[in-house]
Structure 1
Amino acid sequence: MVLEIFDAMLEPIFSAFQSVEGTIDTAAPAGILLLGLLTGLRHSMEADHVAAVSTTIATAGRKNLGQASMLGALWGLGHTATLFVAALLVLLLAVHIPEKMSGQLEFGVGIMLLFLAVTAFTGFNAGRFFKGLRGRKAHSHFHAHPEQGIAHDHRHDHRHGHKSIIIGMVHGMAGSGALMLVVLSTINSIPLGLAYIAIFGAGSIASMAGISTLIGLPFTRARSQVRLALALKYAAAAVTFVIGAGLVYELGVVEQVFRE
């Protein structure tokens, strides 16, 4: 349901992109690269991508627009890195990526979204957990807001950049199969194919950085309002959970992507 609402909201934008993409002459290298840029811009707006980055921004310890933009750009960087590796395998080694594998990897994205949502709700941090098992103490501060009747533990976590890159890499793996089919069907030159991936990545990075800036606006404004900040965080986590659960159900139960 959430996916349908999100897609309906962005339908005019997606339609505009598709209309422009339909007019591009892919017979020329410049046309192929332009198509890659536009596809990269549109690709970053998909619901599961936006949900993952939203939850990452919501759980970041320090909220500002610069950080939000950076987290989005790092997501795009991780996404591009995975696609570039996949492109090398396909274009240089002629590795075939089964269409079914793309669905299985997308199922993994659903699991990742569920994990992100649960950790946002609970405050669980895998990095701090394993540090605790090794006896290392987390760096944290206790904050009380008596005027609002709220007290919380604020932990300093500087791993959100790494987290964004990893999330982008997981998304890149999930989308690489379909993308490679497009590349192979239109590009016969290996350098041009790699250039396509690079400019597709540039579009994804730029677009997600812009989207993350917009997402970061309400979180930045709510920094000094603890109740509102928590409400925004839990709202982002709830949407992410619903999208993740939807992907897991659709791919695991309806499409049965793991069934032989």
Structure 2
Amino acid sequence: MDDLILSSLFLGFLLGLSHALDADHVVAVGTLAAETESLKRSSLLGICWGIGHTLTLTVIGSLVLSLKWQIPEIVATSMEVLVAGMIVGLGALLLWRARRPLTLHAHTHSHDDSTHTHVHVHVQNQEVHSHHHVRNSLQKAFGVGLVHGIAGSAALTLTVMATMPSIVLGLMYIVVFGTGTILGMFVMSTFISMPFIFLAQRAIHWHMPIKVCAGVFAMGFGSVLAWSLLT
């Protein structure tokens, strides 16, 4: 393997790292990280996103490289619009979950030879609620990565076809690029979650308002992105 190919693969890794910082990626992952309360879980979200993204790129890249197929511009644009709509949906979901979850609970106790039942409305046990949604959050991050991979496949595959002399090396480029993306998303997801975790632990009265702001921003960003693509 000559120096030019090694340089191209290294460049692919660096491009994967920078690819994680694309605005639509940051906003989408931000809506996911806003719902976590631990750095470990936030890091896993980034990794799952990156794996989904890389899987899609590998499948589509394999088809493009083996069939010498070029993705039509209208298809690439449609996928970008799909991503924009997904970001709007993620923002709306974050707003929905930003409501303080309440539960209706009955307490029964006895005294003075009589039994009393009192009904209370209180905040749900956040630890139980969080544990219940861990798997769903990771699956959602994986799915979001899959969709982003579809939208980002056109530019990547054209780059691969222009720089790599064979299908095997083209696939190696995609894997190296994806590895860089996974690492970049791991770091970015962890970093984005830090303010939310700090607020949840130290300034709980600001936690929900910040999550609402993040949801509104995501919806606005997705709407503007879709409008720019459709006009």
Question: Hey, what's the Cα distance between the residues in 2 that align with 1:28 and 1:141?
Answer: 60
| Mapped contact 2:58–2:175 kept (Cα < 8 A) | yes
* Secondary structure at the counterpart of residue 59 of structure 1: coil
Aligned partners of 2:159 and 2:123: how far apart in 1? 49
Per-residue CA deviation, residues 180-222 of structure 1 (Å, 9 max, x unaligned), is: 1111111121111011000101110111111111111111112
Of 115, 131, 137, 1:160 maps to 137
Which of 85, 107, 129 lines up with 1:111 in the alignment?
A: 85
Q: CA deviation at 1:243?
A: 1.2
In the comparison of the two structures, how many residue pairs are matched? 206
- 1:23 — aligned with what? none
Query: Residue 39 in 1 paired to residue 6 in 2?
Result: no
**TM-score, length of structure 2 as denominator length:** 0.83
Once the two structures are overlaid, the 10-residue window that deviates more, 161-170 or 94-103, is 94-103
Structure 1, residues 78-109: CA drift from partner, whole Å, max 9, x if none?
10000000111011222321122111100000
Tell me the distance in 2 between the aligned counterparts of 1:141 and 1:192: 54
Question: Which structure's CA Rg is the greater one?
Answer: 2
- Structure 1 regions of 5+ residues with no counterpart? 1-25, 125-139, 144-149, 255-260
- Give runs of aligned pairs for residues 183-198 of structure 1, distance below 5 A: 183-198=160-175
Q: Which runs of 5+ in 2 are unaligned?
A: 105-120
Deviations 1:168-187 (A, max 9, x none): 11000001011111111111
Matching residue of 1:59: 35
Partner Cα distance (1:93, 1:78) in 2: 23
Counterparts of 2:68 and 2:156, CA distance in 1: 15
User: Please, what TM-score do these two structures have when normalized by structure 1?
Assistant: 0.74
Q: 1:80 aligns with which of 54, 57, 61?
A: 54
Q: Find the counterpart in structure 1 of residue 159 from structure 2.
A: 182
- Letter of the structure 2 residue corresponding to residue 234 of structure 1: V
Cα pair 1:99 1:178 within 8 Å, conserved: no
Report what 1:234 is aligned to.
212
CA distance in structure 1 between the aligned counterparts of 2:214 and 2:168, rounded to whole angstroms: 40
Percent identity of equivalent pairs: 36
Q: Secondary structure at the match of 2:152?
A: helix
Q: 1:213 maps to what in 2?
A: 190
- Asked if the contact 1:48–1:240 (Cα under 8 Å) also holds between the matched residues in 2, the reply is no
RMSD: 2.3
Give the letter for the 1:54 counterpart: G
Q: CA deviation at 1:247?
A: 1.2
Letter in 1 for 2:223: A
CA offset digits 1:148-185 (Å, max 9, x no partner):
xx964453313100000100110000010111111111
Check conservation: 1:79, 1:172, Cα contact below 8 A: yes
Q: Please point out which of 229, 250, 254 is paired with 2:228.
A: 250
| Higher relative contact order, chain-length normalized (CA < 8 Å, sep 6+) | 2
| Structure with greater strand share of residues | 2
